[in-house]
Amino acid sequence: MSDNDYTGVYQRALNDPDGFWAEAADDIHWDERWDRVLDGSRPPFYRWFTGGALNTCYNALDVHVEQGNGGRPALIYDSPVTDSVKVFTYLELRDAVATFAGALRNHGVGVGDRVIVYMPMVPEAVVAMLACARLGAVHSVVFGGFAANELATRIDDARPRVIVSASCGIEVNRVIEYKPLLDEAVRLAQHKPAACLVLQRPQARASMVAGRDVDWNEAVAAAGPVPCVSVAATDPLYILYTSGTTGQPKGIVRDNGGHAVALKWSMKNVYGVDAGEVYWAASDVGWVVGHSYIVYGPLLKGCTTVLYEGKPVGTPDPGAFWRVVSQHGVSVLFTAPTAFRAIKKEDPAGQYVEKYDLSHFRTLFLAGERCDPDTLVWAQDLLGVPVIDHWWQTETGWAIAANCMGIEPLPVKPGSPTRAVPGYDVRVLDDEGRDLPPGGMGSITVKLPLPPGCLPTLWNNEEGYRKAYLEQHPGYYLTADAGYCDEDGYLWIMGRIDDVINVAGHRLSTGAMEEVLASHPAVAECAVLGVADALKGQLPLGLIVVKAGVETTEEVLAPELVSLMREKIGPVADFKQALLVKRLPKTRSGKILRGTVRSMADGTPYKPPATIDDPAILDEIREDLGRLGYPKG
């Protein structure tokens, strides 16, 4: 067995998790060493590094300064939408974080207190996250594309002492005011924060609520730097809400110890990156990719991370990514396949690449949604570097399956994220919980315990955690993805088994969208499904049955429903298609045949179940879908 042999490393992690992860943990600075590496005293709830104490911010910033690397760039803020670039060294970022932590402390934030961060892609968002970590407080970042209502739901669940926000975000050339959304969210929520610290950006000035709102700069001016607070390895670092089956998002909890160990390990072993290199995750800090690979992973490793406030296209052109890679000497880029589909659509011949020197660029990683082989092969041919699809989820916080560049690069099979990452015992199970042979399509699970870094529970909802993830197959974590494993041990992820859809790499709940549609007074019944889209992977489509006696038309109701969705969930839902239908196709027991309708819209073969109530409805639906041009073929 060798250190750079995938099978050997994988087996070692499986056979000796204590030894394997203790060795990885030696790469982290601990204030107190752990008593137990893997604590299995309360299955199915496992904890890592119990008894250990550390500070994640210390490991991400201070340690590098103390090791003499304070002058190394920690964060490059590249913002084509404001036409600016700003570089923070480790020392500068450490000082900014320590002072903002002082500001938070002045507003009463201490160990275990929650702080919601609702911000665009500005360096202050990263500063706020790390400042929470410094204090042992728990941040919960809410993506800017969510509406007030979604923010309010998260405020009520996390019950933050402070909310950190900004006056606006910038979407290409549109200024999106955040403050009215924040004010509305606080109005809607039962729980009221003690203070809101607001960054005033020059593109829009927010009006402040006296007694509650404080200008970021004034809060910082009044504060002094504070040191790192040591917390238990098992204490929460953050909560990140993600979509599930219903309108109530799930608060994924991340701990401090296992997270730091796993993420630092992943930087070298999965991404093949060393300290001092420039690593860029083109995502948003509001998503898990942003948490793990804009903020924590690269900084724990001592890399330079890029925070990009722009899009793959339109800021200003489809060469935007190559410009950033070239200008900042990026070695490794991580983004979602949809970003490459967007670039490919505008620059199919890849002419923009030729304008830039990409000689530093080594590897492209894609995740967040299924990567279609066409996109992967296009990117590989264009860039001439390995393009690595890898599969993970908000819940796990880092890759479940990948081609581990720092261990042993394996042959790429386009369409597969390669093999299980060391630490994950991935099993494909049938409905009865039996292991399926190679090629057998089933539910993809991970045999417990999950490796360090994965969710230990849901925020204030251990029972919800058990029910959603651990109950269906006792002893296994349910990923809610379906697929199979081939003869070579490669995984093939085919889609979700629940009501989650993936739009432009954004995870959304069709159940939550149905709740919004159903709240419209004209709607009797509805179904939302994700139909295939060449650019965004999937797009939501709503089928609506109008209440008897209500006089309306599709021309009138559809735009109302589109605005309602924007108001209740936010623009990120990308809900733009609502079809009025006479009836919904159902089984005799009343289950809506979403899968059948989706296949009809996608133009893929389908076989309605024998239990269908009235097959004639499908003819009506086919006609209705035709109004929107489905199937698009």
Let me know: does 503 contact 336? Beta carbons within 8 Å. no
| Lookup: tokens for 167 | 């006056």
Q: Pick one of ligand AMP, ligand COA, none as the site partner of residue 318 (Cβ within 5 to 8 A by kind).
A: none
* 154 is a site residue for ligand COA (CB under 6 A): no
Angstrom distances, CA of residue 362 to CA of 325, 374, 571: 10, 20, 34
Q: Closer to ligand AMP at the Cβ: 144 or 302?
A: 144
Q: Pick one of ligand AMP, ligand COA, none as the site partner of residue 502 (Cβ within 5 to 8 A by kind).
A: ligand AMP
Strands annotated E in 216-355 = 231-232, 236-242, 250-255, 278-281, 304-308, 330-335
Amino acid type, 157 = D
Query: Using CB under 6 A, which of 34, 88, 280, 287 touches ligand COA?
Result: 287
Give the residues lining the site for ligand AMP (CB under 6 A): 242, 288, 367-371, 389-394, 417, 479, 481, 493, 496, 502, 507
* 315 is a site residue for ligand COA (CB under 6 A): no
Amino acid type, 284 = D
Which region among 260-268, 296-304, 335-343, 349-357 touches ligand COA (by CB under 6 A)?
Answer: 335-343
* 123 is a site residue for ligand COA (CB under 6 A): no
Which region among 373-381, 544-552, 566-574, 594-602 touches ligand COA (by CB under 6 A)?
Answer: 566-574
> Which one, of 395, 392, 394, lies nearest residue 417 by Cα?
392
Token pair 């990140």 in the structure block, residue: 240
C-alpha–C-alpha distance, residues 215 and 448, integer Å: 46
Nearest distance from C-beta of residue 450 to ligand AMP, angstroms: 14
Nearest distance from C-beta of residue 290 to ligand COA, angstroms: 8
Token pair 């296994």 in the structure block, residue: 476
Alpha helices in 119-247 (DSSP H): 123-135, 148-158, 179-188, 216-221
Q: With 0-12 CB in 10 A as exposed, 13-18 as middle and 19+ as buried, what is 380?
A: middle
Query: Using CB under 6 A, which of 78, 277, 481, 574 touches ligand COA?
Result: 574
> Which one, of 373, 281, 398, lies nearest residue 335 by Cα?
281
Binding mask 347-386 for ligand COA (x = CB under 6 A): ---------------------x------------------
| Close Cβ partners of 546 (under 8 Å, ≥ 6 residues apart) | 522, 523, 524, 552, 557, 580
Q: Pick one of ligand AMP, ligand COA, none as the site partner of residue 151 (Cβ within 5 to 8 A by kind).
A: none
Q: Closer to ligand AMP at the Cβ: 89 or 243?
A: 243
Nearest distance from C-beta of residue 188 to ligand AMP, angstroms: 25
| Close Cβ partners of 604 (under 8 Å, ≥ 6 residues apart) | none
Q: Closer to ligand COA at the Cβ: 89 or 242?
A: 242
Query: Using CB under 6 A, which of 61, 342, 455, 600 touches ligand COA?
Result: 342
Nearest distance from C-beta of residue 79 to ligand COA, angstroms: 13
Amino acid type, 44 = P
* 457 is a site residue for ligand COA (CB under 6 A): no
Burial code (b: 16+ CB inside 10 Å, e: under 16) for 186-204 equals beebeeebebbbbbbbeeb
Query: Using CB under 6 A, which of 123, 145, 258, 423 touches ligand COA?
Result: 145
Half-sphere exposure of 58 (CA within 13 A, CB side): 17
Q: Pick one of ligand AMP, ligand COA, none as the site partner of residue 369 (Cβ within 5 to 8 A by kind).
A: ligand AMP
Q: Pick one of ligand AMP, ligand COA, none as the site partner of residue 158 (Cβ within 5 to 8 A by kind).
A: none
